[in-house]
Structure 1
């Protein structure tokens, strides 16, 4: 193979040009698209399916970053350094868990760049460590560092749809105008990129990846889309799941012998719920369905634009979801993004208060796990598991000329790592031996181009899985699953065995009756795990949020932040969880009327803020269900002074907050509970509180910018008083 040519390989004739578009939805289950059995209106996804192919035995890792890394590289995710989500960086001792794609695994954008393509990325990235999502980089693992020419989107796992933390190329931007929505904004920007591209250089092909925040929490969409489904889900999740199951059989999405399985553990029968619970839980689903219809509408805008500029008939379109639907909403659902990430269930009365606000900027929702099972129909369990509910997702491929059987269905076992090698095959692109001077690892995926023409073409015979210690292996129609028992030796984990070829819903565990086959598959898993860098394993789960690698900028214990600093995402902010720390702020006030926020991290659903109002120094810690407040006993003096918040940890996730003015204590109060994993999904501001304010006290005062002078903000994480 030749060394990659970083220059354009001549000009393209228009008739030879073939663009590629990847469309990635987030946490959308196997059955959510209309063309995969849903009652949700998705006419544009349906059009792609009717004019392309649906692949019904397609699999991916069970969480976001691993799937995305595998999609863009054509390799297994452990081997490229993305064993788990990019929020976590476990340090050098875990080279497979550093939250970034290794240089030895070039992305499709890097490869296509050497073949004359322009490359555009929009929406969710989630392929660089959270601690690198700063206004000052490092940028190596951002989209422009991985082969893309333009980027407009968000770097971490999720963001508010109305007031997001967005990046344009390598610059954080504010996008808080009235009527803003991430899904609409990224498609508008995608259409702008395409317009510019075909207007200026129409003979050059492009690769574009469009990555929606939908259907990941927070589930937020305009009321008119929610109202489309008013009353639709009053019949409940048991009825809807059965209807989808029957529709899937009618469409040929699942085999005739597929068995309808019982409710997952923890999911109540709909008829056992109170009328008030049914009302609220149905509303969750109305919002989710409206969100998906709105997303589909944006996909339609992209397709219409490609038609308008005469590019749709020169464009391959690939549509996937990155994993199954999430059960993070637990039994009652969630209306607070941060509480659910911190494993704090929300009681029904707390959720009921948000009923009228669901879908709006005032609520950050995730549906109850009863609806998550519906999304994953006909399969068991959810995202983040290695059962089919976590791994098996919809795949649609549209090709303007290569698909003769439009609307066809294919049942080959496929993996996300197979998609990009198939695209290379379609484009006649060879994987180079080197990219940017780095020798490349082989592609792990295999092209399934033959399946475009031949419904009986062979699929993948073997694929391993591992997520937070939960394991699985598929081999020639059989599947074994290792059930993780956290804290126990991995060798003590029990395993289940399914004949996947005849039991697609994993309804009959054969581990006891076919031990020989189970042992065979366990040995195969070990071989594959060694081959693809699965070891060392870890079952840290959300504890990964608290693992701060020593070789990162966030590992510092002392930070000096200056006024005018750009908004800093929470995952890169000074790490104060379960630690003692101080925040010192030298300020100057010429009068007692000068007030405002000195430093704030987070928003209305969680976070902390230090501010001056009515001439008093105030600290608030908002956990979501409780707002702790400490106020100075005396006025803040004029002139040059230093104010300080000192938090003394007194136990796990609790402490005492003390306020000081020029080293004199002026206030104190107990903070009985702080968040254990993630403080907020909004970042840190100096001298203001942007987006959603932490404190209800200044909620109607905009950003409540400080009107005096802030000289700097000093975080000392190991401070002792």
Structure 2
């Protein structure tokens, strides 16, 4: 295949970067000499005919959610792309977000690239350390070094937690992983109204407020459209690789009312009836065979009829919000696709529309929640039915941080068993996927039944582009790709299946696929905090090739086949760094036990004005006594605004000036606001303010006494009755000088809260009070020297 740059009949694309051409020939003394000649400078391009590539990856969507695959959530853009391409009915992910994303971007199994679970649960084991090996370069790097323009928009949950800092290192951020441009968030989830955004590696603020109509998904689409228009306007002959990965539809389920209101009343008959409707529609569409069976609902998942009647309006509302959320997301995808079409290049664009990086999320617990942080802190019981009913109209709004109930997640994975995190069964790993490439795929509106996995996307892109899998990238010899190209499948419904064997594992839930057979064992239930059983006590199930939904366990009838597949699972698991199996929960969250680096150590931390750092990057103030001290220069007109804050409207704390008076507010899940105010105003000029928190002790989540000081002199006392034991937020930052996300105190709004004076520094100290309530310059020097 010839290159579009005719000057070089062959480029050494097996070794990236491609070596620079060296001129060998006559060198003249005078450039005006008629014998002076050099070849013209040419720009690097991929082989002729290489398509543009767009990967759309939606978050937390079950196989049965989208209308394109028989679900109740209207996704007309997915349907339109399917009509112009093919649907993949047996496409699989890993059952969790970070692992699926890293596997998809590298073409290797998730344990091969260190992503056995989410980054927050990284350990020192090679299969779980969240560190991408240098010999597994991501596809964006390969395409960029072959002449593609590259950009990512949305979620990046592949950066090791200790590297999510303003000072990096940035080699596993998108712009260090082959993407020339990145606009989105780094982490597991984002507040759709108040996201913590980055452009490249620089923290930026959303361009509008929720009151002005802002939502993250629309913002991501705006930036993607701007980027692709500029790319084609300036370099029309250069293909692009765009990765569009909105935070939707991961919790919190946030969507403007105009999207959710259209679903009012559609789910009043509950999740069991919804499962039956979904399967009937799936058979009509041909996305499951006519004899596919609806799998039984497990005892851990309650029947709709057994849910309290007074809770059902809240439960139905949760599903209405989610359906609107998915439709809004599909609409945003459509805007991006339409922009590509308007540029006249849609027919030359290979699109993967992957509807879910795993199955639907069952992390909202049996009743669902108004504030997801209550469940993440292990306190779902504080949201009573009465409380949830009182908040029913606020679900989906900027005031909420809601998630739906387990029953809805299970229904949206119909007709399969289980949900996200359960890698053993198709409910956790089978995701409806659409592939469109008008100039490259002959079939339109067809389906494909061959088994494929997310690691097959990279080999497919490379084949479509006429590019080899590189032997070396940036000086490192590359490990082989572990996926297989899907191109034969995409071009021929009768093509033989090429992905013969695939292991699955997620925190002990495990399975193996081999030539149609599956052997699986569910080790733990996602929404339960029970201690899982020993691995050897797990009960394995066996399903035959013709059992589309894994409805009939034949392990007792065919023990020899089960033993064969169990042995094959162990072989594959050993090959790809799955062992040692690790089902620990708290231990993996604790870096001291897990063995991963910690950015912040010791008992004191210094912060400066303008800093915005994640919860990873701040001393843990929870469940212990602590103090927060700031040196200020207060203007004559008085002080107002935030000095330092952590968290936001769903939980956190803030030290701020309000009407020239120092205040401390502890926000307990947005349910209670414990406010302590000074009894006098802050004097003008240079002063030191301080908040001391005396923790009650004797367990997690207890209360404490608050004392405020000006220049070491007590000026206020208060009380916090209870605290959040585990986390303030999944994505809100710790800010100095303003509150950049949602507001932690009702005394100020999401904008206009910057401190009016000057903040020289802020210091956080852990432990009981052992000082005279005033930090002297020599104290700060001694602390700094102790950290060298």
Name the TM-score, length of structure 1 as normaliser: 0.93
Superposition deviation, residue 664 in structure 1: 5.7
Give the stretch that moved more between structures: 269-278 or 181-190: 269-278
Superposition deviation, residue 713 in structure 1: 1.0
Residue of structure 2 aligned with 1:5, choices 2, 12, 17: 17
The CA distance in 1 between the partners of 2:691 and 2:168, in whole Å, is 29
Give the stretch that moved more between structures: 311-320 or 217-226: 217-226
Identify the residue that residue 507 of structure 2 maps to in structure 1.
Answer: 468
The CA distance in 2 between the partners of 1:269 and 1:84, in whole Å, is 30
Identify the residue that residue 25 of structure 2 maps to in structure 1.
Answer: none
Identify the residue that residue 559 of structure 2 maps to in structure 1.
Answer: 515
Identify the residue that residue 340 of structure 1 maps to in structure 2.
Answer: 375
Superposition deviation, residue 217 in structure 1: 0.8
Q: How does 1:5-404 map to 2 (within 5 A)?
A: 5-6=17-18, 16-90=49-123, 93-177=124-208, 178-320=212-354, 321-345=356-380, 346-386=383-423, 387-404=425-442
Superposition deviation, residue 319 in structure 1: 1.1
The CA distance in 1 between the partners of 2:600 and 2:632, in whole Å, is 25
The answer to whether the 8 Å contact 2:154/2:245 transfers is yes
Name which one, 1 or 2, has greater alpha-carbon Rg. 2
Distance 1:679 1:203, change over 3 A: closer
The CA distance in 1 between the partners of 2:421 and 2:738, in whole Å, is 37
Give the stretch that moved more between structures: 573-582 or 220-229: 573-582
Q: SS state of the match for residue 319, structure 1? A: strand
Q: SS state of the match for residue 706, structure 1? A: coil
Distance 1:468 1:686, change over 3 A: same
Distance 1:659 1:550, change over 3 A: farther
Superposition deviation, residue 293 in structure 1: 1.4
Residue of structure 1 aligned with 2:545, choices 481, 501, 518: 501
The CA distance in 2 between the partners of 1:571 and 1:319, in whole Å, is 32
Superposition deviation, residue 314 in structure 1: 0.8
Q: SS state of the match for residue 688, structure 1? A: coil
> For 1:168-204, what per-residue CA distance to the aligned partner results, in whole angstroms no more than 9, with x for missing partners?
1221111151211111111111111111111111111
Q: SS state of the match for residue 511, structure 2? A: strand
The CA distance in 2 between the partners of 1:559 and 1:405, in whole Å, is 60
The CA distance in 1 between the partners of 2:633 and 2:65, in whole Å, is 56
> For 1:202-246, what per-residue CA distance to the aligned partner results, in whole angstroms no more than 9, with x for missing partners?
111111100011111111111111122122222322222111101
The CA distance in 1 between the partners of 2:414 and 2:457, in whole Å, is 24
Give the stretch that moved more between structures: 555-564 or 59-68: 555-564
Superposition deviation, residue 280 in structure 1: 2.0
Identify the residue that residue 533 of structure 1 maps to in structure 2.
Answer: 577
The CA distance in 1 between the partners of 2:587 and 2:663, in whole Å, is 31
Residue of structure 2 aligned with 1:594, choices 636, 639, 651: 639
The CA distance in 2 between the partners of 1:274 and 1:599, in whole Å, is 43
1:564 matched to 2:606: no
The CA distance in 1 between the partners of 2:740 and 2:91, in whole Å, is 42
Q: SS state of the match for residue 651, structure 1? A: coil
The answer to whether the 8 Å contact 1:87/1:571 transfers is no
The CA distance in 2 between the partners of 1:588 and 1:220, in whole Å, is 39
The answer to whether the 8 Å contact 2:95/2:420 transfers is yes
Superposition deviation, residue 510 in structure 1: 3.3
The answer to whether the 8 Å contact 1:497/1:510 transfers is yes
The CA distance in 1 between the partners of 2:540 and 2:218, in whole Å, is 43
Identify the residue that residue 527 of structure 2 maps to in structure 1.
Answer: none
Identify the residue that residue 454 of structure 1 maps to in structure 2.
Answer: 492
Superposition deviation, residue 39 in structure 1: 3.1
Distance 1:509 1:557, change over 3 A: farther
The answer to whether the 8 Å contact 2:162/2:597 transfers is no
Residue of structure 2 aligned with 1:623, choices 668, 671, 681: 668
Identify the residue that residue 38 of structure 2 maps to in structure 1.
Answer: none
1:674 matched to 2:721: no
Distance 1:258 1:343, change over 3 A: farther
Superposition deviation, residue 16 in structure 1: 2.3
Superposition deviation, residue 340 in structure 1: 2.8
Which runs of no fewer than 5 residues in structure 2 stay unpaired?
1-12, 21-41, 525-529, 771-788
Identify the residue that residue 705 of structure 1 maps to in structure 2.
Answer: 754
The CA distance in 1 between the partners of 2:628 and 2:201, in whole Å, is 29
Superposition deviation, residue 276 in structure 1: 3.9
1:480 matched to 2:484: no
Name the TM-score, length of structure 2 as normaliser: 0.86
The answer to whether the 8 Å contact 1:586/1:641 transfers is yes
Q: SS state of the match for residue 186, structure 1? A: helix
Q: SS state of the match for residue 712, structure 1? A: strand
Distance 1:149 1:647, change over 3 A: farther
The answer to whether the 8 Å contact 1:587/1:643 transfers is no
Identify the residue that residue 716 of structure 1 maps to in structure 2.
Answer: 765
> For 1:384-421, what per-residue CA distance to the aligned partner results, in whole angstroms no more than 9, with x for missing partners?
11221111111111112232221111111111101111
The CA distance in 2 between the partners of 1:275 and 1:654, in whole Å, is 32
Superposition deviation, residue 112 in structure 1: 0.8
1:690 matched to 2:725: no
Distance 1:142 1:470, change over 3 A: same
The CA distance in 2 between the partners of 1:13 and 1:543, in whole Å, is 47
The answer to whether the 8 Å contact 1:88/1:129 transfers is no
Which runs of no fewer than 5 residues in structure 1 stay unpaired?
none
Q: SS state of the match for residue 29, structure 1? A: coil
Identify the residue that residue 644 of structure 1 maps to in structure 2.
Answer: 691
The answer to whether the 8 Å contact 2:50/2:466 transfers is no
Identify the residue that residue 781 of structure 2 maps to in structure 1.
Answer: none
The CA distance in 2 between the partners of 1:69 and 1:227, in whole Å, is 36
Superposition deviation, residue 629 in structure 1: 2.6
Superposition deviation, residue 10 in structure 1: 5.2
Give the stretch that moved more between structures: 250-259 or 116-125: 250-259
Distance 1:29 1:192, change over 3 A: same
> For 1:232-266, what per-residue CA distance to the aligned partner results, in whole angstroms no more than 9, with x for missing partners?
22232222211110111122211222212233434
Give the stretch that moved more between structures: 410-419 or 669-678: 669-678
Residue of structure 1 aligned with 2:599, choices 553, 556, 564: 553
Superposition deviation, residue 146 in structure 1: 0.3
The answer to whether the 8 Å contact 1:590/1:708 transfers is yes
Identify the residue that residue 36 of structure 2 maps to in structure 1.
Answer: none
Q: SS state of the match for residue 526, structure 1? A: helix
> For 1:88-115, what per-residue CA distance to the aligned partner results, in whole angstroms no more than 9, with x for missing partners?
333xx32332334222211111111121
The CA distance in 2 between the partners of 1:19 and 1:349, in whole Å, is 52
> For 1:343-377, what per-residue CA distance to the aligned partner results, in whole angstroms no more than 9, with x for missing partners?
33232222222211222211122111111112101
The answer to whether the 8 Å contact 1:17/1:203 transfers is no
Give the stretch that moved more between structures: 465-474 or 369-378: 465-474
1:659 matched to 2:707: yes
Superposition deviation, residue 531 in structure 1: 0.8
